[in-house]
Every structure is written in C-alpha cells, then in structure tokens.
Structure 1
Amino acid sequence: MNNLKIGYSELLTPSKVECPVFNRATKAIINLNTYKDNLLKVKGAVNKKVMAIVKANAYGHGIVPLSVEAEEIVDSFGVAIIEEASMLREAGIKKPILVLGYVDSEYLSYVANEGIRVTLYSYEQWKKWQEQIFKKNRLTKKSVIFHLKINTGMNRLGFKSEEEMLKTIQEIEATQGVYIEGLFTHFATADEPGDSLISQQENIFLEMISKLEKDKYNVHIANSAYALNRESKIPFDMIRLGISSYGLLPDSKLENQLKVTTDPILQLKTKIVHIQELKAGDKVGYGATYKAKEGERVGVIPIGYADGLLRRYALNAYVLVNGERRYFTGRVCMDQAMIKLEPKDCLEDEVVIYGEQDKEKVSLEMAAEWSNSINYELACLISERVKREYIK
C-alpha cells in the first residue's frame, strides 16, 4: 500500500485526493476561525508568549489543521510524544515544538536537526542523552535543546532534588552541542478554586530555581486554568494553552470565573437513519434495559462507543432533534445508539450530540457530568472513524 501524504489544503477539500469515501452521517465539525479567535483572546488577556498544546490529536480536534492555523499566532507548540512532533514537521510547521513526555535518546540526531525540544526530568535521563551526544556529536549539526521539568508536587515527571537538578545543569553547560532553553513545572490543582497546594508548589518552584540565572531561561508554569484564573507569585514568560483554546472549561467550577471566555470549536452531529415503532412492553438494546411503557417511536443513530460515546452515557443523557431534547433508550452500542422520538421527528433529521440547535445546547461539560468523566476525555475519545469537517 502506497504511503499517501495529504497537505493541509487538501484536508479541507478531501475530494481532491485519493482517500476513503466517508458516507456515514456522523461527523465532527471544527470551526478554525473560532479556534484562532480563542488563541487571540487568551494571548491578549495574559500578555505572554503562547505554547499551543496540540497533543492527543489536538484533544481530538485534529492536530495538523489546527496547528497550521495556529502557527501565525502562537510562539511554539507542545505535544506529548515524538510522533506528534514529527507529524507537525511533516505538515510544514516551522516553529519550536516541545515534547512534554519521554523521548528516547536514540532520537538525538532527529530532534537536533528538526529543532524539537526535549523535556529533561532526571539526572539519569541526562546521562543517557550525554552518552548519545558523545557517540554522535560529529553527526549532529545542530544543538539538542532541553526544557527542564521540576517536580513541585504533581509527582509525575520532574527533578525533585535541587542538588540533582543543579548537577545536571552544570554538566549540560559544560557540554558542547546541547543547552537548556526552558524551565517549567505543572500544577496538580490549578483548576481547583482556592486549593492550597498551588501555593506550596509555587514556593517549591521558586526555591528550586533560586540559585539559577532565571533570565537565561524561558519559564513556563501556567496551563489554561492557572493562566486565566490566578495571579501568579512566579514571574513567567509563556503559557501552555490547551483546553481553553478549544473553547472548553478547565473545570466546570470555573465557569464565569476566568479572565476571558472562549467558545467551543467542535460540534458532533449525526442523523436518524431508522425508526422503530414500539408497543407497550417492547424492550430496546443490549441487556433489554429499556422497556416501552406505551406505544413509542425509537430512532436509530449511527454513532456508538467506538466513535467516542461512553456506554454508560445513555443513563441520563440526551441529544437534540428539531431543537428539543431526545433521551437515549437502552445502552449505547458499539456503532449505534437509540433515542426516543416525538411524532414530528422524521428519518434524516439532524441529531446534535455536542453543540447547539436552535436555543438548546449539549456541551462537553454537560456530557462529562452525565457520564462521570471530564470534557478532556470525551473530546479525546472521538475516534478516527468520525470524519472531521473543517470550516471557516
């Protein structure tokens, strides 16, 4: 099978390329102009450099189309894995990219030549990179650029010992072909109003960097929640903007508390493809969990948990048809789900899973509450077999 590279302009007009035909009614519609507006709103409100966090396929929205749109606005990009950084470079993204997670030192030549920044979080990790640098220093034309992560209480990745961190920095500064560009940490409870752990983490970070020449480094500590909901005691240069750029709340508790409001860029839609006429006592779906109390009409919609709906989602959730709420009947299946219809609902009627229809809406925050989840997870769960349609 030939590898087919599709450019961004072609992604917006798939009929021009040789690619599978999508004939399912289920699609995610992503508004690129709204995404850019969100980036500009936040950048204006915080007056800092912005790193666009586009990991996990831009939280399910589409890493390449959104990054291409964002490049003229943001200062850099943040991803989770080296494969995501490679996708951005293949798409023509020129600005700096930081891999926030683990990168194997075997990729030394690649990250150096492509200008991909690497997160360094332990002395042990540095020694592995140092070994590769000595092996390949004649093959690498450009420097390896690190951002040092400091563990201030998240207890995931990061230097926890000041001594270990200073030793690492000292060795890096004595090594040719490598340097430290940034220092950062991550707050565990930035989206929890009034949580005292934030202050503790801030103090730890300040203490950890107290012996450093801070002006030498790009300091970034703030995610969406921290940047838009708090006044920091730490001077920092850049924010890592993720969830708010997609128009989603860092946490529902922060509604109406953020410095700037952003708008959702995604709608998830499908349509009614079949209607079942039920008699009293008829049951619906796996486990026969729904029983008709009287004559009812049930609509089948071509979307299921393989597309991103959670199986438990149907317990108390609804979608929108003709500007009104239509509740699920029975369990969400892998590829389909069933909803209770009203007499006016017909075949081919549009069904909104996430988004607005007339004066009603279903937000990802609402869906997260229904399913005991978070909006981040639900956005990321929208699978690749759901066609993304990009509009401006």
Structure 2
Amino acid sequence: MSRCPSPSHATVDLSAIVHNLGLVRERAGHRDVLFAVKADAYGHGAVAVAREVQATGAADWLAVATVAEGQELVEAGVTLPILKLSPADPWDLDAAVTAGLRLTVLDGPTVDQAEDAAARCGGHARVHIGVDSGMGRIGLPPEQLGEVVAAVDRSAHLELEGVFTHLPISDVPAGREFTIAQIDRFLGAVADVQADRGPIPQVHMANSGAILGHELSGTTMVRAGIVGYGYDPDPAGPNSQQLDLRPALSWTSHISFLKTVEAGTTIGYGRTWTASRRSLIATVPVGYADGYPRLLSNRGQVLIRGHRHPVAGRVCMDQIMVDLGPAPDDGACEFSVDDEVVLIGSQGDQTITADDLAESTGTISYEITCDISKRVDRRWAGSSL
C-alpha cells in the first residue's frame, strides 16, 4: 500500500547547502571542512545531504552524534570520513569500529575501550581526543593531553588522527575575550604535545561561530554546523549582514478549512483568542506534533497569498488556525481551500525564516529545524546527482 503524502512538507535546497559550504571553504583557506550532519542533518535529511556534499566535494569530513547516525550514512554509500563527536557507549563500540567511524576518546578508560573494540573487530580504529578548554561538557583538561596522546600511541590497534575542543560562546561578540583565552589554552597544549611526538593530522576547534569570527591559525580543520544550513549562529551579530548565507529549508502546508466567525467568537483550546470583528479564519493541518512550536500560539505568523497572517489561538497537536482578516460582507472570498501556507520560506516578497520562529519562541534556529518531525515529508531540490 502506498503511503499518502503528509499535509505539510519541507523542501531542502541542496544547492544552497553547497553554496553555504563554499563560503566556509573560503574562510577556511587550506584547511579541511567537516560538516555536521547529526540530528538528521539538523532536520534537513542526513542521507540526502551527505550524498550531495560528497558528490560536490563541498566538505571533506562529516560528523554525527550517535553510532546509529554514522551507520545510516555508511549503509547509504557515503565514504567520506565520519567523526562521532562524543565517546561511543561501550556496547556500541564494536559497531562503530566495524562501520569505520572515527572515535572520540577522552581519557585512559575510553582509550582502553576503543583499543579492546578494535582488537575484537580484527583491525584498527582512528581516534580523536576531546579537550575541555572551557565548554564543560566532555573532554580532558588541556594539561592531561600529553598522557592520553601517549596512551593512544602505545596502543596496538589505535591511530591518533585528531585532537579537538569546542567553543561555547564563539558566536557572542561579548565573549570574545573568553574564546580567545580558550583557543590559546587549547593550542598551547597541542603545541606542547606536537613538540614531543610530532604533528597530529587534524587539529580542530572552529564551529560555525569561530569560522565566521575568529582566527583559525594553528588548526587544520574547521567544523561547520548551522552555517552550512544557511543560518548565522548569532543572527543579530556583525557578520550576518555581510554573508550571503542561503537558508536551505522551506516548510509549507495548505488551507484545509475556511470559516467565517462573528465578533466575540473564541478560537481554540483555552479560548485564548477572541474575534474583534467578523473574521475569516483558516485552519491549517500542521501543529506541534509536526514541530510547529506551541509557543507560537497567538504570536506566530504564516504567509498566504503573499501576505503575513497571524496564528489565532493555541497551536494544536495537528492544526493551527489563522486570522485572514475581516470577512467580506458580500460573501466573496479571495482565499480558497488548498491555498499554499508558508511556515518557513518565501512567498511573494515576504519571507519567514527559522530565525523568525526562534525569536518568537525564545530559542535558536537549530531547534526549529531539528524539531520538524518525521511526520513532515522531506523533499530535496537542487541536487547535482
């Protein structure tokens, strides 16, 4: 039995991702570009995105958060090196090694676990050592880097391929002093180790914020995340207006029902919206189960026939209601069931971005695109394949 299409769909312009990564390459110079495709490529579809990036040479590496994410890419024929950005759980290590994923290690126990898994799988594993220079999430203190490097170098089945850190406020202009201190601390530890044992192939720290706003000297690779999908991690920052970033994802639905309500009529759960005049209300079959945030109740906007219209009432699990304005007295109506409704994207000369939804809900563009659920069909355009 064929599956019916979703009442809303997200279209991903793969050529926009390639374009954005081209801007990253310009800033990276001679350095490799790693592209984060974790969380289903931030909601854009990891397999389709990874295949396009590989086919176009837009990135040299990929990164995932879980072993299963890496396995999915390998099984789909992706051959770019894939780094798992945190240590694999012990019970997943054999699968990670078998899939050829690059492993993250942090200390003696994680080195030993990776070594044992590589030995069991009859081969070797390439590893990257995570350093905590100020993020406070994972990683070893910089002063302990030398001893963990030595442990990897002693291992019979491990190869040290990289060392990295993460910068928590590289996208915040006011945090520039902290980030510079972080970078100096990290690169100082790396320099001490390399003076003793020779170069480490991949030294990386620059996430999207650092790629756009910090010095990259001393590194051999950058890690692009949200910037590859067309968004500046600091949309109000000084770089935003200077970059030709192209948001890759648009999200559309349609009007499923039209009704006229009289002044004083309430709409939706909790009766939080009341018509101030005789009004035309559209129902749209998308809700918080699709990833349209409930926090957009009575504050979100959508595009219909080239104009912005406000969400009326609470966002439901599966539907929203939209105020189309005063109902015409003569019964004539410019709107129709099946009219396109743009949730993210452009219509006419109007545009709504993930940044707009994020600003209205007190979050970030990353969360908006990641939260678009599997119930929403993905379609891909602009592919070179």
Q: TM-score, normalised by structure 1?
A: 0.89
Taking structure 1 as reference, are residues 108 and 280 closer, same or farther at Cα in structure 2, changes over 3 Å only? closer
Task: Give, in whole Å, the separation in 2 of the partners of 1:274 and 1:290.
Answer: 18
Deviations 1:232-279 (A, max 9, x none): 4x4111111110111112121226457642201111000101012101
Aligned residue for 1:88?
73
What are the residue-to-residue correspondences of 1:349-364 with 2, within 5 Å?
349-364=339-354
Aligned residue for 1:304?
287
Aligned residue for 1:99?
84
Say which of 37, 46, 60 aligns to 1:54: 37
Aligned residue for 1:5?
none
Aligned residue for 2:172?
192
> One-letter code of the match for 2:75?
E
Unaligned regions of 5+ residues in structure 1, if any? 1-17
Q: For the Cα contact (< 8 Å) 1:323–1:358, is it kept in 2?
A: yes
Task: Give, in whole Å, the separation in 2 of the partners of 1:287 and 1:205.
Answer: 52
Say which of 174, 182, 194 aligns to 1:201: 182
Per the TM alignment, residue 210 of structure 1 is displaced from its structure 2 partner at its CA by: 3.1
Q: For the Cα contact (< 8 Å) 1:249–1:255, is it kept in 2?
A: no
Per the TM alignment, residue 172 of structure 1 is displaced from its structure 2 partner at its CA by: 1.6
Task: Give, in whole Å, the separation in 1 of the partners of 2:270 and 2:71.
Answer: 45
Task: Give, in whole Å, the separation in 2 of the partners of 1:145 and 1:321.
Answer: 51
Taking structure 1 as reference, are residues 124 and 177 closer, same or farther at Cα in structure 2, changes over 3 Å only? closer
Q: For the Cα contact (< 8 Å) 2:232–2:240, is it kept in 1?
A: no
What are the residue-to-residue correspondences of 1:122-141 with 2, within 5 Å?
122-130=107-115, 132-133=116-117, 137=119, 139-141=120-122
Task: Give, in whole Å, the separation in 2 of the partners of 1:376 and 1:179.
Answer: 33
Per the TM alignment, residue 295 of structure 1 is displaced from its structure 2 partner at its CA by: 0.7
What are the residue-to-residue correspondences of 1:1-392 with 2, within 5 Å?
20-22=3-5, 24-47=6-29, 48-72=31-55, 73=57, 74-130=59-115, 132-133=116-117, 137=119, 139-160=120-141, 162-163=143-144, 165-195=145-175, 196-213=177-194, 215-232=199-216, 234-254=217-237, 256-257=239-240, 260-342=243-325, 343-392=333-382
Task: Give, in whole Å, the separation in 1 of the partners of 2:60 and 2:305.
Answer: 42
Paired-residue identity, %: 30
> One-letter code of the match for 1:244?
V
Deviations 1:355-375 (A, max 9, x none): 011111101111111111111
Per the TM alignment, residue 109 of structure 1 is displaced from its structure 2 partner at its CA by: 3.8
> One-letter code of the match for 1:208?
A
Taking structure 1 as reference, are residues 25 and 110 closer, same or farther at Cα in structure 2, changes over 3 Å only? closer
Task: Give, in whole Å, the separation in 1 of the partners of 2:104 and 2:264.
Answer: 59
SS of 1:306's partner is helix
Bigger drift between 341-350 and 373-382 goes to 341-350
Task: Give, in whole Å, the separation in 1 of the partners of 2:201 and 2:2.
Answer: 45
Per the TM alignment, residue 197 of structure 1 is displaced from its structure 2 partner at its CA by: 1.1
Task: Give, in whole Å, the separation in 2 of the partners of 1:256 and 1:156.
Answer: 27
Per the TM alignment, residue 389 of structure 1 is displaced from its structure 2 partner at its CA by: 1.0
Task: Give, in whole Å, the separation in 2 of the partners of 1:21 and 1:118.
Answer: 40
Per the TM alignment, residue 111 of structure 1 is displaced from its structure 2 partner at its CA by: 2.9
Runs of 4+ in structure 1 off by over 6 angstroms are none
Taking structure 1 as reference, are residues 27 and 218 closer, same or farther at Cα in structure 2, changes over 3 Å only? same
Taking structure 1 as reference, are residues 294 and 324 closer, same or farther at Cα in structure 2, changes over 3 Å only? same
SS of 1:280's partner is coil
Q: For the Cα contact (< 8 Å) 1:55–1:63, is it kept in 2?
A: yes
> One-letter code of the match for 1:329?
A
Q: CA RMSD in A?
A: 1.8
Per the TM alignment, residue 161 of structure 1 is displaced from its structure 2 partner at its CA by: 5.1
Per the TM alignment, residue 226 of structure 1 is displaced from its structure 2 partner at its CA by: 0.5
SS of 2:351's partner is strand
Deviations 1:144-192 (A, max 9, x none): 11100100000000011523x3222212211211111001000010110
Task: Give, in whole Å, the separation in 1 of the partners of 2:125 and 2:334.
Answer: 63
Task: Give, in whole Å, the separation in 1 of the partners of 2:75 and 2:188.
Answer: 40
